[in-house]
Amino acid sequence: MADTADAIIIGAGVIGAAVAYELAKSGWKTLSLDARGAAGHGSTAGSCAIIRMHYSTPEGTAMAWEGYHDWAGWRDYLGAPEDEALAEFRETGCLVMRTEANGYLDKHMEMSAALDCPFEIWSADQIAARLPVYDLARFAPAKRQEEPGFGEPTGGRIEGAVFWPKAGYVTDPALSAQNIAAAAMRAGAEFRFNAEVAEIVQSNGRVAGVKLTDGTELNAPVVVNVAGPASARINAMAGVLDDMTIETRPLRQEVVHVPAPEGFDFETRGMIVSDSDIACYCRPEKGNNILIGSEDPECDTHQWVDDRDWNPDFTDQWTTQALRYAQRVPSLGIPSRMRGVVELYDASTDWIPIYDKSALPGFYMACGSSGNQYKNAPVAGRLMAGLIAYCEGGADHDSDPMTFGLGHIGQEMNAGFFSRKRAINTASSFSVLG
C-alpha cells in the first residue's frame, strides 16, 4: 500500500467514507485512515441513523431533503452491484409534536414548503388513531426522574403534530459506512485501519501529511479531518484552533432500547417520533423494540468527555429517558436489564457542523457532525470534495465562499454557512435536532 496520496482522510465513518468516495470519483488518489478495525466502527455504529427533513435552519432543511434522495436511491448512489448486501432505508415517516418549545413547527413547515418537501398536519385524533398506545397529556417542561413533579401532567394536551412522510431510518448504520467505503474502493480509494494519527506533518507553511502512532509517516498535500469525536484533538495537532469561533467537543450520549408495549407492533406500525414535550425522540428498532434518545433538554446535563477516556456503561440517564417516554406511553414495559447504546457525539458549539478549510493550507475539516448529520453524509461528501477542489484551485473560501449545488432538489446554498469562523447560529436548536 502506498505511503503517498493526493489526499489523506482521517476517519472512515459514514461522512469520512463519503468524502473518500467523492474525491476518488473525481480522480483523487485518496488514503483513508481509521483507528478502528473497519469502516463505520466508531460513532457511526452508535448512530440512531434517522433520516429526517425537519431542521432549525433553511440550510439544514435543504441538506436533509437533498440527502433523502441519496438514501432512497442507495444502490444507485453507490453504483453497487446487484449482489452486494446494502443497509436498508425504512421509510416510516417522522411525526413531530407541535409544542410551544418548537414554535408549533410554523418555521419548519415554512422551510419545507419552500423546498417542496412534503409534510402533513395531523390532529390529536389522527395521532391517537395511528399510535393508540400514546397518552397526549402535556408534561413540559421535561424533568429528571428525581425532580419533584416528574411524571405528573402539567395541564392540557398535545393538540397536533406535523408528519413528514418521506422520513425514516437506516437499519444498520455501520453497514452503510461500509457500503460507501466499498464504493470508494471501486473508484480507487485506499483504506488503512487500526491506524491512529499522532501528528499532523507540515512543511513550508502547509500540511504535508500525517505521522501514525507506530511511527509511519504518510505524505499528502491535502489532509481532511473527519475524525468524529477525536476531531478537536486532530485540529489541535494541526494548530488550527486560533481562528475558529466554533469549537467541537466529544459528548457522551446514551440511547435506550425497550420492548414495544404488549399488543402493539411498533416495528411495523410505528415511526420516528420527535416529542419536545417530553424531550425524547424514538424510532422502531428490530425485534419490535423502541429506540429512545434524549433531545437534550436543560435538565439533561451534557457530559463532555475525553474521547480516549470515558465511561461506556449505562447510568441513571438510561432510566430517566425510559421513564420520560413512559409518560407518553403508559403501557410501556421497562426491563430491569438496560439495553441500548452508549457512544460519543462530535458536537459543535451551535450543533451545526463545520465543513470548511482551515488556517493551515491543505488542511480541511468535516467536524462537529454527530447527532444530526448522519442523514447528510452523501451530501457532505460532495460538499467537501467540491470545497477542496475550489480551495486547491486557488479560491479563497473565507472571503468568497463556494456556492454548492443541491442537484436532487434543484437548489444552491452558500457553503460559508458551515464556516469555522461563523458567528454562533442563534437559529439552531442547540441540541441533537440541529
Task: Give the predicted TM-score (pTM) of the model.
Answer: 0.97
On whether both 209 and 340 belong to a single domain, the answer is no
Average pLDDT over residues 320-347: 96
One-letter amino acid for residue 217 of the chain: E
Q: Cell for 330?
A: 403508559
- Judgement on whether residues 79 and 176 belong to the same structural domain of the protein: yes
Distance separating the N- and C-terminal Cα atoms of the chain: 39
Is residue 73 located within the same domain as residue 113?
Answer: no
Q: How confident is the model at residue 243 (pLDDT cuts 50, 70, 90)?
A: very high
DSSP-based three-state secondary structure for 98: coil
Q: Work out the pLDDT band at 2, boundaries 50, 70, 90.
A: low
Collapse the DSSP code of 86 into the 3-class scheme (helix H, G, I; strand E, B; otherwise coil) and give the result. coil
Query: Are residues 180 and 101 part of one domain?
Result: no
Q: Which of 294, 315, 347 is the last residue of a domain?
A: 347
Task: Determine the distance from the C-alpha atom of residue 326 to the mean position of all C-alpha atoms in its chain, rounded to a whole number.
Answer: 26
Amino acid at 407: G
- If asked whether residues 79 and 194 sit together in one domain, one would say yes
Inside any domain, residue 369: yes
Q: pLDDT tens digit string along 143-182?
A: 999 999 999 999 999 999 999 999 999 999 999 999 999 9
What pLDDT is stored for residue 258 in this prediction? 97
pLDDT (0 to 100) of residue 1: 47
- At which of 290, 325, 347 does a domain end? 347
Q: Which CATH number goes with the domain that contains 157? A: 3.30.9.10
Give the end of a domain, one of 325, 347, 369.
347
Same domain for 156 and 101: yes
User: E strands within 12-115?
Assistant: 30-34, 50-51, 89-90, 94-97
Residue 433 domain flag: no
Is there a domain that residue 1 lies in?
A: no
Report if residue 209 sits inside a domain.
yes
Q: Would 313 be classed as within a structural domain?
A: yes
Task: Evaluate whether residue 2 is within a structural domain.
Answer: no
- Matching residue, cell 478537536: 232
If asked whether residues 203 and 317 sit together in one domain, one would say: no
Pair (184, 198) in one structural domain? yes
Average pLDDT over residues 222-245: 98
Per-residue pLDDT reduced to its tens digit, 61-101: 999 999 999 999 999 999 999 999 999 999 999 999 999 99
Helix axes 377-392, 173-186, angle to 10 degrees: 40
Report yes or no on 229 lying in a domain: yes
How far, in Å, CA of 380 to CA of 366, rounded? Answer: 8
Per-residue pLDDT band for 432 (boundaries 50, 70, 90) equals confident
- Cell, residue 151: 411524571
DSSP string, 365-432: EEESBTTT-GGGHHHHHHHHHHHHHHHHTT--TTTSPPEEEETTTTEEEEGGGG-TTSPP-TTS-SST
Q: How large a percentage of the chain has pLDDT more than 70?
A: 100
Residues 369 and 340 in one domain: no
Check whether residue 270 and residue 142 sit in a common domain.
yes
Query: Around Cβ 349, how many Cβ atoms within 10 Å?
Result: 18
Backbone φ and ψ for 305, nearest 5 degrees, come out as -135, 175
How many residues are listed for the chain in this entry? 434
DSSP state of 55: -
pLDDT at 108: 97
Q: In this structure, are 318 and 380 located in the same domain?
A: no
How many domains is the chain built from?
2
State which amino acid sits at residue 203. Answer: S
Range of the domain at 275: 90-166+250-347
CATH of the domain at 357: 3.50.50.60
State mean pLDDT over 323-348.
Answer: 96
Contact assessment for residue 80 and residue 72, using Cβ atoms and an 8 Å cutoff? no
The answer to whether residues 327 and 367 belong to one domain is no
d(C-alpha 273, C-alpha 286), whole Å: 16
Three-class secondary structure of residue 89 per DSSP = strand
The enclosing H or E element of 59 equals helix 58-72
Whole-number pLDDT of residue 197: 98
**For residue 200, pLDDT beyond 50:** yes
- Give tens-digit pLDDT for 113-124: 999 999 999 999
Unique residue bearing C-alpha cell 470515558: 310
Q: Is the dihedral of CA 368, 371, 377, 379 positive or negative?
A: negative
DSSP string, 214-256: TS-EEE-S-EEE--GGGHHHHHHHHT--TT-SS-EEEEEEEEE
pLDDT score recorded for residue 3: 84
424 is a domain residue: no
